[in-house]
Chain A
Amino acid sequence: MRKPTPPSQELIKGIWRENPVLVQLLGLCPTLAVTNTVENSLAMSAATTFVLVCSSLLVSSIKKIVPTEVRISTYILIIATFVTIADMILEALVPDVHKALGAFVALIVVNCIILGRQEAFASKNSVGRSLLDAVGMSIGFTATLTVMGAIRELLGAGTILGHSVLGPHFEPWVIMVLPPGGFFTLGFLLLVYSWVKRRSEARAVSTAGAVPAREAA
């Protein structure tokens, strides 16, 4: 059993320390596939947030009546239902974006972040905490996707959200909006993350003497 943590921690941990994409390496398919523009990243994040928050709420409120043997199937069904709803809403509200995201909206079902949070958190914690956890993870996911989308759109087309930023003389790095650009950008972000983390750990060790940094984190 995990020791009780302040509720605010449940919200904050998903943003940096347990960031679902950068630390847990979950949900990589949408992270790489739809982040070629900021607009697509935001739409994908919104859909994923909707599904994650709704599923976490439902799963944590029915956790006592779901038999352990069929829990995974139950979670998948709940998630698939919300994904269907999200798919229809996106298609009705923003048909262009829905078309750009293509099959990846339906693929939110197999986004490991969502199933992972149900199994690891929502099925063991209260509704309130699960909500905070889901919102925190969604913020972490959204932040990562937006940064990815911004880097790729800026370098690949010289624009942000369709507005020209780098001026007419900028020669777009077309590769950034193509599949390899996705791999390069995420790889670069992971390297930066691990570099920053190592530095802050080293600093914590040098200021706190012998206390290991991991204990403090």
Chain B
Amino acid sequence: MGNLLWIFISAAVVNNFTLALFLGLCPFLGVSGKVETGLRMGAANIFVMTLTALSVWILNTFILNAAPYLRIIAFIIVIASLVQIVEMAIKKLSPALFRALGIYLPLITTNCAILGLAIFQTNRGYGLLEGLAFALGGGVGLTIALVLMASIRETLELADVPAFARNMGLVLIIAGALSLAFMGFAGLFSAA
């Protein structure tokens, strides 16, 4: 149980997907304009990542042992179809949730955080429970990063910066500062 908790915490803050591993940067930079959208994107990500961890475990355990060279192709197909199915299911079951997640669901297919999750999970040889803890942690970490960035950018709107710096350059430098702050969490492990 303790092991699962560490995997969760490690994925959420210490090795934060976005700020330490550089996964999921597109949504991080693209939809972090408002806290509201950031939260929704984060929720959609947590959801899809958990499902991905489950399907990757099934793939790894029952199918890919026979053909490891098909790994990348199999993962990307499964993730793409998974997102499509989830989208249809949500549309049917909960139109309210579908409206809330809206365009973020299809965007997730080409989000490197999802494929990254699948590959890290495989490389580290996680079992089912460990994989799920990793996925949840990764999703929560992504959401934390998105919401933090969004709140900073909402304030940044009002700041008086030189005209040439009103673009992604400034956002990336702020992301660097955030990443620096998250490095502080690395100390959590030496205490354990």
Name A's B-contacting residues (CB within 8 A): 25, 28-29, 32-33, 73, 76-77, 80-81, 83-84, 87-88, 102-103, 106-107, 109-112, 115, 175, 178-184, 186-191, 193-195, 198
B168 in the interface (beta carbon within 8 A): yes
B156 in the interface (beta carbon within 8 A): no
Q: A76-B76, A179-B183 are in contact. Are A103 and B123 (CB under 8 A)?
A: yes
- 14 additional A-B residue pairs with CB within 8 Å, beyond A29-B26, A102-B123: A29-B22, A103-B120, A106-B72, A107-B119, A109-B72, A109-B76, A110-B112, A175-B180, A179-B21, A182-B176, A183-B173, A183-B179, A187-B169, A191-B170
Are the CB atoms of B164 and A191 closer together than 8 Å?
yes
- CA gap between A84 and B112 in the complex, in Å: 16
Q: A80-B73, A180-B183 are in contact. Are A115 and B176 (CB under 8 A)?
A: no
Please name the residue on chain A nearest to B169 by beta carbon: A190
Q: Which of B20, B25, B80, B119 has the most CB of A within 10 A?
A: B25
Are the CB atoms of B25 and A32 closer together than 8 Å?
yes
Are the CB atoms of A77 and B73 closer together than 8 Å?
yes
- CA gap between A181 and B111 in the complex, in Å: 23
Are the CB atoms of A187 and B172 closer together than 8 Å?
yes
Please name the residue on chain B nearest to A194 by beta carbon: B164
Q: A29-B22, A76-B76, A183-B173 are in contact. Are A191 and B165 (CB under 8 A)?
A: yes
Write out the residue numbers on chain A whose beta carbons fall within 8 Å of the beta carbon of B80.
73, 76
Write out the residue numbers on chain A whose beta carbons fall within 8 Å of the beta carbon of B179.
179-180, 183
CB B165 to nearest CB in A, in angstroms, measures: 6
Are the CB atoms of B22 and A28 closer together than 8 Å?
yes
Are the CB atoms of A179 and B169 closer together than 8 Å?
no
- CA gap between A129 and B180 in the complex, in Å: 43
CB B173 to nearest CB in A, in angstroms, measures: 4
Contact partner of B175 (CB less than 8 A), chosen from A81, A88, A109, A183, is A183
- CA gap between A111 and B110 in the complex, in Å: 8
- CA gap between A184 and B165 in the complex, in Å: 14
Are the CB atoms of B72 and A188 closer together than 8 Å?
no
Write out the residue numbers on chain A whose beta carbons fall within 8 Å of the beta carbon of B26.
28-29, 112
- CA gap between A28 and B175 in the complex, in Å: 13
Can you name 15 A-B residue pairings with CB atoms under 8 Å?
A33-B21, A73-B77, A80-B72, A83-B72, A84-B71, A110-B115, A115-B110, A179-B21, A179-B183, A180-B179, A183-B176, A187-B174, A187-B175, A190-B168, A198-B164
